[in-house]
Structure 1
C-alpha cells in the first residue's frame, strides 16, 4: 500500500523503494532533471568539504614537521590540541542544522566555510600552545554545521534508491582530502624557511587562503532546499517534491517535543552509536597514519606520500559499494563486510610488529573498512528518517555523537606508546566490535518494524524502512 505518512513523507514498498502518487509531467524529463540536480547540488558541497576536512586534519601533517618544536609542545599537549576541536564540533551540530533551515543553506554553509578559512589562516601565525588551542576550538565551532547540514540537504533531493551513490560521492570528499592532504603536505614540506616561515605554517596559510576563496564561491553556488530552488521550473519543483514525498509545503519549526520524540526511539539512538564506532578508526587513521608510518623509518616527504595508497583503496571500495548498495537496496551486508575489514586490519597491527608489508597492509584494511562503511551507515540511517524535523535532528545527532569518537581517537595514540601503539589499536578494535553489535541490533529492529508494518498494512498507510 502506498501514500503519504503524517509527516509528509512518501511511503515505500517492501524493498525500500519510494512510491509516489503522480506521473511525471510531460514538460519534465526525469533523467535530465536528476542530472541537473546532481550538477547543481553535489559539486559545490563536495568542494566545501574537501576544504573543511583538509583543514581539520592537516595538523596531523604539521605534527610530523617542526610544529611541536616551534610551539614547545610537551607530553599530551598535541593530543589536547587535536581533541579541543571536537568540543564545539559536537555541541553545535543540532543548533547548526536549525540555523541552516532558518537562514537557507547557501547563506549558512558559505558563512561556516568562510569563517573556517579565516581561522585556518590565523593558525599559520600562532606563536604558542595557547594560540594553537584557541584556533583549533574556533575551527570546531566553524565547521560544526558543514557535514551534517550537507547530508541533511542532500537527503531531501533524492529518492531512497538514488541516495547511496550521492551520499558516497559527498563522502568521497573526505577521502580526496585525506589523499590530497598527504600529497600537498609532501610538497609544502619543501617550503621550509620561505618567507621566514616554517613549512608547517605554510600548510595552514595556503590552505586557509584557498578555503576563504571557496567560502566566497559557496554563497553563489550552494543549492537550497527544493521548495526554495530558483533554478527549477515550477513543474520541476513540483515533481521533485512529489517524487521525494514532500508535496505538503515548506518545513515548519522544530520544537522540543520533536527532539524528545526522536530520542524515544531506540533505533535513533543506535544510529549515533554506529557512527561513533566508525569515526574512531577513521580519525585514528586521519590524525595518526603519518605518525605511525613515520615510525617505520621514512622521511617526512616519504611519510606523506605513503598515506595516499590506503586512501585510494578506500575510495575505490566506497564507490563500488555505493553502486552495489543502490542496486540491491541493501545497506547492512556492506556495513558488516566493512567492519570485518577494519577488525582484520586492527588485528594485524596488534599482532605483527616486524613486517612492513603486513603492517602497511593492515593500515590499508583499516582505511578501506572504516572509510567505506561511513557513507553506507549515514545513508542507511538518514534515509530511514521521515520528515524535516527527524532528519534535521537525526543527521546532527548521528554526526554529532559520532564525532565524540574523534575525542577518543586523539587520546588513543600517545607518543609514549610508539612504535607499537598497542593501546590505540586495542581501543579501536573494542569500539569497532561495539559498532558491529549496534548495527546488528539496528538491522534487527528495522526488520521487526517492517514485519509489523506489513502485517498491519491493511489497516492504514505505512512507511517501510531499508535494511
Structure 2
C-alpha cells in the first residue's frame, strides 16, 4: 500500500498570516513607489534652489545681502498656512486626487522658476511653491495612516522619507549634469535645473492620479477576499488602538459583547460594538474633533520637538551646497561633494524605521540619535580645517535624518479618530515647519567657511528637541500606566454621555481606556 502525500492544512492563524503578507505586499507595491517619487520630487523641487544658487542664480537675478534668505523664508510662510486646511479637506476630496493635484501645481511653479528674472519674481515664485507643496507631507501621513496599521506605518514612512535623503544626493548629481546645458535655448544652466525637474514632477503626478487608490475599499489591486481582510484588520487596529489584536480575537470580543447585550447586562463592554462600527470611511466632520486635535498635549510637545529637528534638517538641505562651496570646492566638484553625506543617512533612516516598527518605539530612538547630531555640530564649531568640517556634515545627516520618520509616525500612531488625527497632523507639521522659516536665516554667506553662528543656533534647537522628546516619552509612559491600572475607565462613560446627548457621532478613538500610546 503506497504512502499518500500528506495534505497541507492551514490553520486559521496561518491563513491570517498569509493574507496579511499578501495585503501588505500589494499595498507596498502599488503605493510606496509612487509616494516615494512624489516626496523625492517635493524635496528636490524645494531644495534645488541651493544647487541653482552656486550655479549662478544670485548673479543673474541680481540678489544681494540677505535677499536669497528672504526668498527661502517666504516659501515656509505660505507652506505653513495651507497644511492644516489641506488635511481637513483631504478625506472629502479624496487623497488619490488631491495629492496629485498639489504635485502638478508645484511642478508647474517649479518649471516657471526657470524664467524668473529678479528678486521680486523669485519671491513670488517661492511663495507660490509653498502654497502648492504645503499640503503634501501632512496629506501623505494622513493617507498612509488610513491604509496601514499603527505599527506597520514607520517603515513605510522611512522608505519615502529616505527619498528626502536621496534627493540631496540625486539633486546634486542631477544639477551637475543639467548645468552642462548652459546656453542651450539661450538659458543659463541653473534655469534648466528648475525647468527639467519641474516637468519631471508633473509627469510623476499624472502617474499618481492613475495608480493611487482613494482608500482600502477602492483599491482595485485587491481580490474581494483581500479587500475584506484589509478593511477588517485595519478596523480592529483602529477600534481599540491595540495593534496586537488579531481578527479572530476581535470576533470573539464582538460576539461576547452582543451576547451580553441580549442578556440585558449593563457594562463598559456594551458600548464597544457601537464604537467598532464607526469606521473612518463613515466618520463625519465635527468641530469638536478639531478642538480635541488642537488641544492635545502630545501635539504641542512633539511640535517643539520636530521644530528643533526641522531647523537642522532644512538648513542642512538648503545650505549644504553653499557650505560645501565654502570649503573650497567649485562648480561640478561642489555639486558632487554634496552627495556622499546623504548615503549613510539614507541607510540609517530605513534601518531604524524597520527596527522602530518591530519594537513599537519612536521617542527612545530619537533620544538616541539626536546626540549624534549635537556632537557633530560641536565638531563643526571647533573644527580647525575643512576636512573636519566635511566629516561633521556626515554625522549631522546621520543624526538628524533617521529621526524624521519616528517623528512623522508618532502623531498618526497616538491620535484617533480620523478628523482629530487630520487636525493634529496638520497643526503639528504646520507649526513645526516654522523651524524652516528660522533655518533660512541661520546660515548667511558672511559666516563662510566656519558658519559658527549658524551651527551654534542649530545645535541649540536640536538640544531643545531632545528635551521635549524626553517629556513626551515620559507623558506617554505615565498615561499608559494610568490606563493599565484602570484609571481611565471613566472616559467611556463620558463618551457615552456625549453620544446619548447627540453631541458626537464619531468614534471614541484615543479616549478608549484600552488605547495605548506609542512611546
Tell me if the contact between 2:377 and 2:459 (Cα under 8 Å) persists in the aligned partners.
yes
For 2:113 and 2:16, the matched residues in 1 are separated by 54
In structure 1, the partner of 2:316 is 285
Alignment of 1:63-74 (within 5 A): 63-74=53-64
Which among 373, 377, 380 is matched to residue 410 of structure 2? 380
1:349 aligns with 2:401: no
Once the 2 structures are TM-superposed, how far is the Cα of residue 191 of structure 1 from its aligned partner?
1.9
Distance 2:400 2:17 in 1: 43
**Superposed CA offset, 1:285-342 (max 9, x none):** 1110110111111112111111111110101111221122222222222111210111
Task: State which drifts further: 244-253 or 367-376.
Answer: 244-253
Does the Cα contact within 8 Å between 1:41 and 1:222 map onto a contact in 2?
yes
Equivalent in the alignment of 1:465: 517
| Number of the residue aligned with 1:191 | 181
Indicate the residue corresponding to 1:29 in structure 2: 19
TM-score by length of 1: 0.91
5+ residue gaps, structure 1: 1-21
Q: 2:170 corresponds to which residue?
A: 180
Partner of 1:371: 401
Deviations 1:396-446 (A, max 9, x none): 122211111111000001122222222211111111111011100000000
Q: What are the superposed Cα offsets for residues 336-376 of structure 1, whole Å, 9 maximum, x if unpaired?
A: 12101110111011111x32222111111111111110111
Are positions 1:257 and 2:288 aligned together?
Answer: yes
The answer on whether the counterparts of 1:106 and 1:222 sit within 8 Å (CA) in structure 2 is yes
Displacement of 1:184: 0.6
Q: 1:392 aligns with which of 422, 431, 445?
A: 422
Based on CA coordinates, which of the two structures has the bigger radius of gyration?
Answer: 2
Query: Equivalences for 1:407-422 in 2 at 5 Å?
Result: 407-422=437-452
- Corresponding position: 1:125 with 2:115: yes
Q: What is the TM-score normalised by the length of structure 2?
A: 0.82
- Deviation of 1:458 after TM superposition, in Å, equals 9.8
Matched position secondary structure for 1:226: coil
Residue 269 (1) aligns with residue 259 (2): no
| 1:50 aligns to 2:8 (yes or no) | no
Q: How does 1:210-225 map to 2 (within 5 A)?
A: 210-225=200-215
Match of 1:296 in 2: 327
Q: State the superposition RMSD in angstroms.
A: 1.9
Name which structure has the greater RCO, CA cutoff 8 Å, separation 6+. 1
Gaps of 5+ in 2: 1-11, 239-276, 493-512
What is the Cα deviation at residue 228 of structure 1? 3.6
State whether residues 338 and 370 of structure 1, in contact with CA within 8 Å, keep that contact through their aligned partners in structure 2. yes
Q: Residue 77 of structure 2 contacts residue 130 of structure 2 at CA under 8 Å; is this kept in 1?
A: yes
CA drift at 1:28: 7.2
Cα distance in 1 for partners of 2:201, 2:47 equals 14
Q: Which runs of structure 1 show a deviation greater than 4 angstroms over 4 or more consecutive aligned residues?
A: 22-28, 457-461
